[in-house]
Amino acid sequence: MADFKVNILGCGSATPSLRHLPSCQVVDHRDKLMMVDCGEGAQLAMRRMRLKYSRLNNIFISHLHGDHCLGLPGLLSTMALHDIEGSVTVHTFEEGAELFLRIMNFFCRERTYELKFNIIRPENAIIYEDKSLTVETFPLYHRVPCVGYIFREKPKLRHINREMVDFYRVPVSMLHSIKEGADYELPDGTTIANERLTTPAEPSRSYAYCSDTIYSPRVAEAVKGVDIIYHEATYADAQADKARQRGHSTAGEAAKIALEAGAKKLIIGHYSKSYNDETQHLADARSIFPETIAANEGLTVDIT
Q: Using one digit for the tens of pLDDT, what is the confidence trace for 248-267?
A: 999 999 999 999 999 999 99
Residues 48 and 190 in one domain: no
Cβ within 8 Å of residue 244, ≥6 positions away? 214
Residues 32 and 173 in one domain: no
Instruction: Write out the residue range of the structural domain in which residue 209 sits.
Output: 4-156+202-302
Residues 222 and 274 in one domain: yes
End residue of a domain, out of 172, 199, 226: 199
End residue of a domain, out of 199, 230, 261: 199
Q: Using one digit for the tens of pLDDT, what is the confidence trace for 101-153?
A: 999 999 999 999 999 999 999 999 999 999 999 999 999 999 999 999 999 99
Residues 219 and 128 in one domain: yes
What's the pLDDT at 209?
A: 98
The catalytic residue positions are 67
> DSSP character for 133?
E
Q: Indicate whether 1 pLDDT > 70.
A: no
Q: Using one digit for the tens of pLDDT, what is the confidence trace for 70-94?
A: 999 999 999 999 999 999 999 999 9
Is there a contact between 109 and 5 (Cβ–Cβ < 8 Å)?
A: no
Is there a contact between 257 and 219 (Cβ–Cβ < 8 Å)?
A: yes
What's the pLDDT at 150?
A: 98
Query: Exposed/middle/buried for 211, CB within 10 Å: 0-12, 13-18, 19+?
Result: buried
Mean pLDDT of 272-299: 97
How many angstroms separate the CA atoms of 184 and 174, rounded?
8
Q: How many domains does the chain have?
A: 2
How many angstroms separate the CA atoms of 201 and 150, rounded?
21
Residues 151 and 165 in one domain: no
Residues 193 and 127 in one domain: no
Q: Strands 191-192 and 300-302, how do they pair?
A: unpaired
Residues 151 and 48 in one domain: yes
Q: Indicate whether 2 pLDDT > 80.
A: no
Residues 94 and 106 in one domain: yes
Residues 216 and 275 in one domain: yes
End residue of a domain, out of 199, 231, 259: 199
Q: Indicate whether 246 pLDDT > 60.
A: yes
We report the CATH number of the domain holding residue 228 as 3.60.15.10
Dihedral sign, Cα of residue 79, residue 107, residue 44, residue 22? negative
Q: Which of 1-5, 26-30, 31-35, 136-140 has the lowest mean pLDDT?
A: 1-5
Residues 40 and 171 in one domain: no
Residues 123 and 247 in one domain: yes
Residues 39 and 134 in one domain: yes
Q: Using one digit for the tens of pLDDT, what is the confidence trace for 7-20?
A: 999 999 998 788 99
